[in-house]
Chains A and B, each alone.
Chain A
């Protein structure tokens, strides 16, 4: 029995120590952990790619972690606590719930560890800056493209992912306000919400198409919404509707290649990761940073989807 116990112990120790040397920090090396909202989604993997790139260029060590899904607020807090224990030079943080993280962010602040918010802001003045997409400007660009494609007049509708999150509100309003101010001949007949869920968005989009058989265009505010619209158009068999989407993903890029979708806005997740690490290093060196660092966005369609610049920010 003793020998078995010893065996287990030895195994545990080997596991721990075996894993350690390869990844453990050397003294004096700058360490910047990034705590993200997610980990396994393609979008977050693209953010990680950008962060890795910056870390290599600037000679710092980063880690990138996020909870299994976007509901696990407490798991994200635990990740932040573990990151703080590791004497980081700075921390990158994409808050699932700003409020819940405030005590730990304050702890970081008191320890003089700069915090860079990425992807979405934190309701606090602790972060040195926020690296994110200007969603309002990006959605305005979608409105411009839509107007151009349908000839400056007609009826359009929006399928949004939700009415409470910052991104949901900014993308919806960016599109609606641009339509109202610049294109008086275009009427937005309906704005509905599909929770970013492909199936739910499909049903929502079908209902809009049924109610408005003369619709000219539809805008989906994220990947799930956009794919929902494409599904709806496909199931209803209409082909007079111009569809503009948001983000990428295999289904969306396929739809653009096949012409079912006219084009889409893509954020620059790689840029978000890159700029976060860059800003973290700048903050450590005491440089002044703007309140928000816009990481940029692009409009892509059949004509430029294979350009190097676009391919670098798309994900499957």
Chain B
């Protein structure tokens, strides 16, 4: 209903805009309700320091969610983002700590490694026709293993690279506006979101992303090299995962090689809460960003309320189901 059709660009675009706007509203409304609810329930929730803590907790999952959004819109899924993030962090560790190269090389290595891993997954899916679920499951295990092998199963610390921890923990904004000490990690999340949204909505790559998810066969029949575009999208998602790898490594001032499993599911949950359809062809970066924020607010709020950890998990699961159900109800033709 909301898919892009090329013969009627205007009405399709306006319909798409409407759907996206409404989805944003719904997710945004839930976010506001949660924020108000927690603020009423606990006086300690709505403090600047806690809001910053929430944003910082969102940064890694948010960037991963943005990466997964791109792949999901093509009708695929990426289960490897968690361990790929770790792998890019480990490679950064090799470049900066083992080889002692300057900071910039580490940053480039992380993003390039991510793009390379992404293009591998993309090739498995597009050229070898392996279902995305299986291809990225395999990738997830390969990268988990390689992270452990390369690091020697020990964390790699970045103590010899001054400034590395500033990537996530420092605050450029706070130096200009002392009243707004937003960590760089959060700033980077917003920049990644803006760039991804631009690519998705304003470039050919973005248009093919939606088109592949809506009807891959008709795109292929119209003479487009769908394989090439698909690999490009997986590679772009991988490069974004590289940014997440930098963020987490910087925040922990170390590459933790065993970390990563489970992060892909949280990213997918954020995407789904944000209204992106798992069957492809529909979704938005802003939605995923809000989805990631909802998850972080929920986790933090329940903690601040001292809800027992067992129940936190139950509530989070219930919210995911509720969010997707609400989205489906809204989409039913009235």
**A binding-site residues for B, Cβ under 8 Å:** 1, 4-5, 8-9, 11-13, 15-17, 19-20, 23-25, 31, 33, 39, 61, 63-66, 68-69, 71-74, 77-79, 81-87, 97, 99-100, 103, 164
| A73–B326 CB distance below 8 A | no
Known: A82-B304, A85-B44. 19 other contacts (CB 8 A): A1-B330, A4-B326, A5-B29, A8-B30, A12-B37, A15-B315, A19-B305, A23-B306, A61-B306, A71-B256, A74-B251, A78-B56, A82-B300, A85-B45, A85-B47, A86-B44, A86-B306, A99-B157, A100-B253
Residues of chain B within 8 A of A164, CB atoms compared:
154
> What distance in Å separates the Cβ of A120 from its nearest Cβ neighbour in chain B?
15
- Closest 6 interchain pairs by CB? A16-B37, A20-B41, A85-B50, A82-B303, A81-B53, A71-B258
- Nearest B residue to A13 via CB reads B37
| B254–A97 CB distance below 8 A | yes
A-B contact count (CB 8 A): 139
| A8–B45 CB distance below 8 A | no
| B305–A24 CB distance below 8 A | yes
Query: Does B142 interact with chain A (Cβ within 8 Å)?
Result: no
Residues of chain B within 8 A of A11, CB atoms compared:
322
> What distance in Å separates the Cβ of A224 from its nearest Cβ neighbour in chain B?
16
- Nearest A residue to B22 via CB reads A1
| A74–B252 CB distance below 8 A | yes
- Nearest B residue to A31 via CB reads B306
Residues of chain B within 8 A of A73, CB atoms compared:
252, 254, 256, 259
- What would be 6 A-B contacts, judged by CB atoms less than 8 Å apart? A1-B330, A12-B33, A73-B254, A81-B57, A97-B252, A97-B254
- Nearest A residue to B266 via CB reads A75
Question: A85-B49, A97-B254 known; A19 and B302 CB under 8 Å?
Answer: yes
Residues of chain B within 8 A of A79, CB atoms compared:
303
Measured CA separation A74–B302 after assembly (Å): 18
Measured CA separation A61–B311 after assembly (Å): 18
Measured CA separation A257–B29 after assembly (Å): 59
| B56–A25 CB distance below 8 A | no
Chief secondary structure at chain B's binding surface:
helix
Measured CA separation A50–B300 after assembly (Å): 25
| A74–B306 CB distance below 8 A | no
Measured CA separation A103–B56 after assembly (Å): 13
- Return the CB mask of B24-55 against A: 1 if under 8 Å, else 0: 01100110011011101110110101100100
> What distance in Å separates the Cβ of B213 from its nearest Cβ neighbour in chain A?
25
Question: A12-B33, A72-B259 known; A100 and B309 CB under 8 Å?
Answer: no
Residues of chain A within 8 A of B303, CB atoms compared:
63, 65, 79, 82-83, 86
Q: Could you say which of B53, B248, B307, B326 contacts A19, with CB atoms under 8 Å apart? A: B307
| A24–B41 CB distance below 8 A | yes
- Return the CB mask of B304-334 against A: 1 if under 8 Å, else 0: 1111110100010011001000100110001
- Nearest A residue to B260 via CB reads A71
Residues of chain A within 8 A of B29, CB atoms compared:
5, 8-9
Measured CA separation A78–B312 after assembly (Å): 14
Query: Does B230 interact with chain A (Cβ within 8 Å)?
Result: no
Query: Does B60 interact with chain A (Cβ within 8 Å)?
Result: yes
> What distance in Å separates the Cβ of A122 from its nearest Cβ neighbour in chain B?
14
Question: A19-B311, A20-B41, A65-B303 known; A82 and B256 CB under 8 Å?
Answer: no
Q: Could you say which of A17, A65, A74 contacts B37, with CB atoms under 8 Å apart? A: A17
Measured CA separation A65–B49 after assembly (Å): 20
Measured CA separation A86–B48 after assembly (Å): 12
- Nearest A residue to B51 via CB reads A85
Measured CA separation A71–B153 after assembly (Å): 11
Residues of chain B within 8 A of A85, CB atoms compared:
44-45, 47, 49-50, 53, 300, 304
| A97–B57 CB distance below 8 A | no
Residues of chain A within 8 A of B155, CB atoms compared:
97
Question: A24-B305, A100-B254 known; A81 and B56 CB under 8 Å?
Answer: yes
